[in-house]
Amino acid sequence: MNDFVFKIKSSISESITVKTALMNNCIAEIEAIGKKLAEIIGSGGKIMFCGNGGSAADSQHLAAELVVRLRSSINRKAIPGLALTVDTSILTAGGNDIGFANVFARAVEAYGKEGDALVAISTSGNSENVLNAVSTAKQREIVTIGLLGGSGGTILSECDLTVVVPSKVTARIQESHILIGHIWCEMIEEINFPDMF
């Protein structure tokens, strides 16, 4: 067997192992958060997302699933989702003028209101700018949700609700984050648009 075949099989096997642990240990948290997000949307709130790197990409991905749609067979109204990671002018001005540690907090201050949710995505749970966004959200009575990995880091104890993917491998955590995000999008759709299912 060549080295790449072994590596591919190992990566797939590791991903399956992490997702099995997620299924066995985190279902209650995933369900509770999905219901809470659906409730927030049903009450006229919005969901904001933030994170760095791959977690920034996940923020954009999940916001797009809400605003456009997750399933092409479901022709529903737009759901208000906002990735705080997409405006390069805001991010670079914020990084330059108030420091990169504050760019997401500033966006939460600008866009967030009581009754909204912030999904704070961090594979380590220690991203300073994500933690600061959580702190600002809490001050504004925005529901804070941590989508985390490893030990959950410093963000774990600061959020109202959390899911911690049981892995220390960034790639495996990110793969699970997008799975969880898709599950939440499905729940939001099915709870808020029951006649379409």
pLDDT in tens, 129-175: 999 999 999 999 999 999 999 999 999 999 999 999 999 999 999 99
Measuring CA to CA, which residue among 144, 133, 136 is closest to residue 50?
133
- At 73, the pLDDT band (50, 70, 90 cuts) reads confident
Q: Hey, what are 44's tokens?
A: 């006229």
| Distance (Å, whole) CA 111 – CA 39 | 19
Show me where the domains of the chain are located. Answer: 3-196
Give the type of residue at 163.
V
Q: Hey, what are 11's tokens?
A: 């990566």
How many residues in total does the chain contain?
Answer: 197
> Is residue 1's pLDDT more than 70?
no
Q: Which residues on neighbouring strands pair with residue 81, listed in sequence order?
A: 47
Is 3-196 CATH 3.40.50.10490? yes
